[in-house]
Structure 1
Amino acid sequence: MSSRTLTLNVAEGALHASSNSSPRLSPDEQKNALMCEKFLREVLAYKFVGPDYPHVTEVMGTATIGGKPAIVMRWHMNGNVEQYTSLNRGTAVDLIMSVVEAVKYFHTKYPRLVHGDLRPSNIVVGNDGRVLISSLASAHVPGSAKLTAKKINGLHRWMAPELIVIDEDDNSQPPASTFESDMWALTCTTSQFITGKVPYEFRRYSLQVVPSIAKGVIPYHKASFVNAAEEGGVMWGEELWQILEPCWEMDPTCRLTITGLQASLRRMFDIA
């Protein structure tokens, strides 16, 4: 057994052990426990998909850094998409099609996988220019007992409205991410490629984002989206908006699927 396999197996065992105990913890202990659970879930997810799963960052092993558990990933000089697009705005179309292809693999190949936390900082640009998705802590296979859904706090700017708990008195289990919520987050991500601006950029503080989502405000304004696209060299700003906007429907069942989105983008970009 390789050292990499051993560390993944040890972490999987630790996850099962931690899920069977619920001691009363202080706030600091709760924070550390959540961080540890996120680490363990991510290790389990990478073990579940296996080393040959395409479109994800390669895991080299695990380590303890500063007394905290960490997953060691293969390093890519291009960094994550957020860093890459700030220096290479002209690559937006290629990156969009690459990340759509990656998410299509997640959503359509057996076992169908929900990522649960899609955003630019969780997407790496490989040395060949194609994207690789990382941070699988929120990933799950709907209906599977091996990789179950678990609410791991994401960032509201990229989060679908149905995942956000508005009622602070509601102590029920938060809703799990879905293929439809992935589509919302993916569209926020691709829009950030195009505009260079985070979702809800017109809301300066993150605390202002949740009330906007509750009121049905979508992450981008059409005029600023189209203008930013043209300034960034993307000549189909208006057409892109028409394709992407349905992915921000408040009713998740009305959003495009990943296959529908890819087909529409291919037609617009005239990709065979």
Structure 2
Amino acid sequence: MALRLKDQLVGQVVDGRYEVLSRIAAGGMATVYLAADARLGRQVALKVMHPHLAADEVFVDRFAREARSAARLSHPGVVGVYDQGAEGGTVYLAMEHVPGRTLRDVLTERGALTAGEALAVVTAMLDALASAHRSDLVHRDVKPENILVGLDGRLRVADFGLARAASASTTAASVLIGTVAYLAPELVTQGRADARADVYAVGVVLFELLTGSLPFTGDVPAQVAYAHV
């Protein structure tokens, strides 16, 4: 699916404004592209939702509301949200482009970090999350893949609100299948959570940074999810 999206969008102009230059990454919810904003003359990260989500009207409505909330955040540790829109079957989010890599890439390359390095990472994460929590915005999908490490070494938290938008979709279960390792117990048992769920997820990330492994594993996602309870 991601390759098909790439073939369709690279070289195209989305919504009369964003020229898609290349594909950066693909995940369970979307494919992320490097794009040139013709209106403001800058490069952005363009997150394009996968077709099964873009076709879900409930998801698209929630996605738009969550994007507006995320756009109000202003913090050096949070990836900025610039724009959100839809053109035909393409539903997108234009965000700050952060050249570098993800915290997952760092873990894959290095394995466990030193205690000092791990504490520096989670301190930066908690500072960014606290800013969002003061604005009543909960991330709900904190994990190494959503922590960007810039070329300057600064950490930024990405994808605020997307997990909450996905929870409104009829395909939410498939979207969250890859993130069960970081789910707080109340998200597993009740499907809802507040800022404390983000703090719990940071604790799981800290465990992984210090040990190079996750606290809970299993053969199927449900087994991992309920190990948190």
TM over 0.5: yes
Matched, 1:184 2:208: no
Gaps of 5+ in 2: 1-38, 41-51
**Higher strand share goes to which structure?**
2
- Cα 1:57/1:29, change in 2 over 3 Å: closer
Q: Provide the C-alpha distance between the structure 2 equivalents of 1:103 and 1:33, rounded to a whole number of angstroms.
A: 33
Residues 18-45 of structure 1 deviation map (CA, whole Å, 9 limit, x = unaligned): xxxxxxxxxx689623542453244112
Q: TM-score, normalised by structure 2?
A: 0.58
| Aligned residue identity for 2:75 | Y
Q: Provide the C-alpha distance between the structure 1 equivalents of 2:137 and 2:203, rounded to a whole number of angstroms.
A: 18
Return the match for 2:140 from 116, 120, 141.
116
- Cα 1:159/1:32, change in 2 over 3 Å: same
| Aligned residue identity for 2:121 | S
Give secondary structure in 1 for the equivalent of 2:101: coil
Give secondary structure in 1 for the equivalent of 2:72: helix
Residues 227-257 of structure 1 deviation map (CA, whole Å, 9 limit, x = unaligned): xxxxxxxxxxxxxxxxxxxxxxxxxxxxxxx
Matched, 1:72 2:88: no
- Cα 1:129/1:95, change in 2 over 3 Å: farther
Matched, 1:195 2:218: no
**Higher helix share goes to which structure?**
1
Q: CA deviation at 1:81?
A: 1.0
Query: Is the CA contact (8 Å cut-off) linking 1:151 and 1:176 kept in structure 2?
Result: no
Give 1 or 2 for the bigger CA radius of gyration.
1
Q: CA deviation at 1:75?
A: 3.1
Matched, 1:57 2:79: yes
Matched, 1:132 2:132: no
Q: Provide the C-alpha distance between the structure 1 equivalents of 2:55 and 2:181, rounded to a whole number of angstroms.
A: 22
Tell me the residue number matched to 1:169: none
- Cα 1:29/1:63, change in 2 over 3 Å: closer
Query: Is the CA contact (8 Å cut-off) linking 2:83 and 2:93 kept in structure 1?
Result: yes
Matched, 1:106 2:121: no
Query: Is the CA contact (8 Å cut-off) linking 1:98 and 1:130 kept in structure 2?
Result: no
Query: Is the CA contact (8 Å cut-off) linking 2:124 and 2:155 kept in structure 1?
Result: no
Q: TM-score, normalised by structure 1?
A: 0.50
Superposition CA RMSD, Å: 3.7
- Cα 1:48/1:205, change in 2 over 3 Å: same
Identity over aligned residues, as a percent?
21
Tell me the residue number matched to 2:188: 164
Q: Provide the C-alpha distance between the structure 2 equivalents of 1:29 and 1:120, rounded to a whole number of angstroms.
A: 23
Return the match for 1:84 from 106, 110, 113.
106
- Cα 1:61/1:86, change in 2 over 3 Å: same
User: What are the equivalent positions in structure 2 for 1:207-222 lying under 5 Å apart?
Assistant: 207-214=222-229
Give secondary structure in 2 for the equivalent of 1:124: strand
Tell me the residue number matched to 2:6: none
Give secondary structure in 1 for the equivalent of 2:94: strand
